[in-house]
Every structure is written in C-alpha cells, then in structure tokens.
Structure 1
Amino acid sequence: MANALTYDDLRKQARCIENEIDLKLVAFSKLGAGLQTPHSSHASDTVPLLSGEDTFETMSLEIEQLLKRLTQINEHMAEQPVSGAAMLHTIQRHRDILTDLSKEYRKTNSQHEIRREREDLLHGSSDSFRSEGINNRRDMYLKENQHIHNSDRMVNEQISIAMETRDHLQSQRQTFKRLQTRFNDISNKYPVINSLIQRINIRKRRILLFWDL
C-alpha cells in the first residue's frame, strides 16, 4: 500500500477511517453504558440484566480492525519523504488522533466490563440469595460438626496414650519388685555373697574418704 498510494491518498484514507471510528465509538459508548437495551422498558426476572452483548462484541471487533488499519496507514505516511514542517505536523496530528481514539475504545471496554460484572453479581444475588444462605448455614453446621468430631478424636487419643503410659509404668514397677525379691533371695541364700558385698561397700567408702583427705 505504501508503494501504490501517495501521501495525499494515505491522508484521505486516514481521515475517512478516523471519522468512521469516531462514529462507531459514539454508538459503542452508549451500548457499553447500557443505554441501548431492548428490554429496558419491560425487564423481568427471565430477561438478562445485560442485553446487547453480542452487538457489543461485534462492534468491538469492528473498531479493533479499524484501529489496526489506521495504525498501518499512519506508519505508511511516516515512511513518505518529508516535504516540510506542515507534513510533519500533519503526521503527528494523525498519530495523536489515533492515540485518542484508542484510549476512548479501551475506556469504553473497561467501563462495560465493570458494568457487566456488577450486573452479573446483582442478577446472581437476586436468584440465589436464599439458596446461598441455606448453603452457608449448612456449611457452618458441617464445619462445626467436623470440629467436634476432631476434638473427640484428639481426646480419645490422649486418653489412650495416658492408659498406655500407666500400663508401662506398672509393668516397670512389677519388674523392679521381682528384681528386688530376687536379690533378697540370693542374699539370704548365700550369706557369703552378702558379706562380700558389704566388705566391698566398706572398702569403697574408705577409698572415697582417703581421696577426700
């Protein structure tokens, strides 16, 4: 297109597309704000709050394509040989217009998205407020029941640990008693061993006393 069209041809095309985009943006902005809703005068529960969604998407795609074409034309104009300050000013002016149109398009898209989310939320709330309230209470009861079940399980585990510890201590005590009885029986049965153990203890005390001196 840059080789076939002159600078004047490109400038005319740019103006034509700019005007077309500007007109579409006016309708696009109204549609995005919900001013052209076919069910606005008699809306009911069976009619979606957000109407004209398909029209909005179609117009959005058309404007995107026009902005892309306008961008290409501006690039081709910038590639033309510069003939003076007026030409530079004109090219810059077309760039500024493209920037403004693009900003307006993105702004309308953003406002439409915010409005759609808000209306979807309101529409969903009107349909499911009661069921959501019931579900929330049911979830709360289930969580509370689960909490009680977990508490009971933890208490049972602690009781089991305490009982096992008690049985273990009782077993150790019985073992020590049996060992003590065994030692007593051995001492009574073998007086020599008992006497030997006493002498060893006496000698040990003497050695300790010597080291203390």
Structure 2
Amino acid sequence: MEVPSSWDALRKQARKLEAQLDEQMNSYRKFVSAKGSTKVGTAENDLESGIDRLLKQLQQVNSQMQAWVSSGGSEMVSHTLTRHQEIFQDITQEFYRLRNSLRAKQEHASLLEDFREFDRTRVDLEDGVGSAENALLKEHAAVSRSTGQVDTVISQAQATLGALVIQRSTFGGINSKLSNIGSRLPTVNQMLSAIKRKKSMDTIILSLVASVCTFLIFIYWLSK
C-alpha cells in the first residue's frame, strides 16, 4: 500500500479501502447465510484473509490521519477523522460477529455429525457387526473433531481479543485528541483576555473624548 503524503491523499485512501471492505463484506454476509458445512473451504479462508488484510490497511491509514490531526488539524479535519474511525469500528465489529456466527454454525453441524457417528457405532456394536478396530477408529475421529472444536473456540477468543485491542486503540486516539484540544485552550484564553483589555481601553478613550467635548460645549455656553 502506498504511503499518502497529504490529508487529501489519506482521506482518498481511506474511502477506497472502505469501498473495498463494503464489497467484500456483502459477499461474506451471503457466504455466512448460506454456509452449512462443517469444513472450512478455500473460498472462505481467502475471503476472511482479504477482509482482515483490508482492515489492517484501513487501521494504518486511520492512524496516519490521527497523527495528522494531532499535529494541528482543523475542526473539520478532526470531524472527518472521527467519521472514518466510526466506519472502521463498525466494519470490524460486524466482521468478528459474522465470523463467530459462522464458527458457531460449523460447531453445531460438527456436533450433529458426531452424534450420528456415535449412534451408528452403537448400533453396529449392538448388532455385532462392527469390530473393535472400527470402533476405535471412529472414536479417534470423534476426538479429532472435538480437538477441532476446541481450536475454533480458541480462534473466537483471539478474535474477541483483537476487537478489544482495536477499541483500546480508538479510545487512545480520542484521548490524544482531547489532549491536543486542551493544549490549545491557554492560547485561546490569552486571545480572549487581549480582546477584553482592548475593549476596555476603547471604552475609556471614548469616555474621555465625550467628557472633553461636553466640557468644551459647557465653556462655550458660558462664554456667550
């Protein structure tokens, strides 16, 4: 990804990444809605990897925009950054929610498959058809699937941790913005004080001028 050299370039890059994420998220929503298999396919892995890569790129662009704002950006620029951060947060949370939903579907389908496999094994043993070796092989397959389910749970926990890290980064950016505004307040107060002093001086000068004019009119009236 190219490194933008100006605010306009950063904003353009952010919009481009958001459009690509929106397109891929639409495909991922349809994929999750139609998914019914227990196996993770190549298409699913490619789509998830692509979305994850775009999210990391968008996070990097948002960080560069945050640095730009912290160095002295205007209020309009700060508002634009906040909007891009909200979009990034919304897409990230939806992606993790859809991925967890997909993993839950796969786990449910896997449990049903294990139950059917167990039922077939029980029937075979009761009818005297299944051998001890086949039973052990089936049990080994069930254990392997259980291990896969544990890996899925760990993956979901890691995804949740990633979401929390992103939220912490967002809150850190907000704190930096508040600190930046706070550092500008003394300058604003000094400007307001200078304006008040100038206004007071103008009032005093006008009062003196009015007094002198009144005095001269009074002297002129007495001299007639």
TM range (shorter): 0.5 to 0.7
Q: Which deviations, in whole Å up to 9, do the C-alpha atoms of 1:35-65 show, x marking residues without a partner? A: 5x7xxxxxxxxxxx34672211111111111
Residue equivalent to 1:144: none
Q: Which residue of 1 aligns with 2:7?
A: 7
Cα 1:72–1:79 change in 2 (3 A) is: same
Structure-2 separation of matches of 1:31 and 1:3: 33
- Listed as ranges, the matches of 1:132-143 within 5 Å are 132=122
Cross-structure match for 1:69: 57
Q: Does the 8 A contact of 1:2 with 1:76 survive in 2?
A: no
> Bigger radius of gyration, 1 or 2?
1
Q: Which residue of 2 aligns with 1:79?
A: 67
Q: Which string of whole-angstrom CA distances, capped at 9 and with x for unpartnered residues, describes residues 78-129 of structure 1? A: 1114332110000111111110010011001000000001111223333441
Structure 1, unmatched stretches of 5+, are 38-48, 139-213
Within-5 A mapping of 1:149-164: none
Which residue matches 2:42?
A: 54
- Percent identity of the aligned residues? 24
Structure 2 unaligned blocks of 5 or more: 129-224
More helix as a share of residues: 2
Work out whether residues 38 and 107 of structure 2, in 8 Å CA contact, stay in contact via their aligned partners in 1.
Answer: no
User: Could you tell me how far apart the structure 1 residues matched to 2:58 and 2:52 are?
Assistant: 10
Residue equivalent to 1:26: 26
Give the superposition deviation at 1:34: 2.1
Superposed displacement of residue 12, structure 1: 0.4
Cα displacement (A) at 1:133 = 5.6
TM-score for the superposition, normalised by structure 2: 0.50
Q: Which moved more, 1:87-96 or 1:52-61?
A: 52-61
Q: In structure 2, do the counterparts of structure 1 residues 55 and 3 end up closer, same or farther at CA, with 3 Å as the change threshold?
A: closer
Normalised to the residue count of structure 1, the TM-score between the two structures is 0.52
- Structure 1 residues 135, 67: closer, same or farther in 2, change over 3 A? farther
Regions of 4+ moved over 3 Å: 1-4, 49-52, 132-136
Residues matched between the structures, number: 126
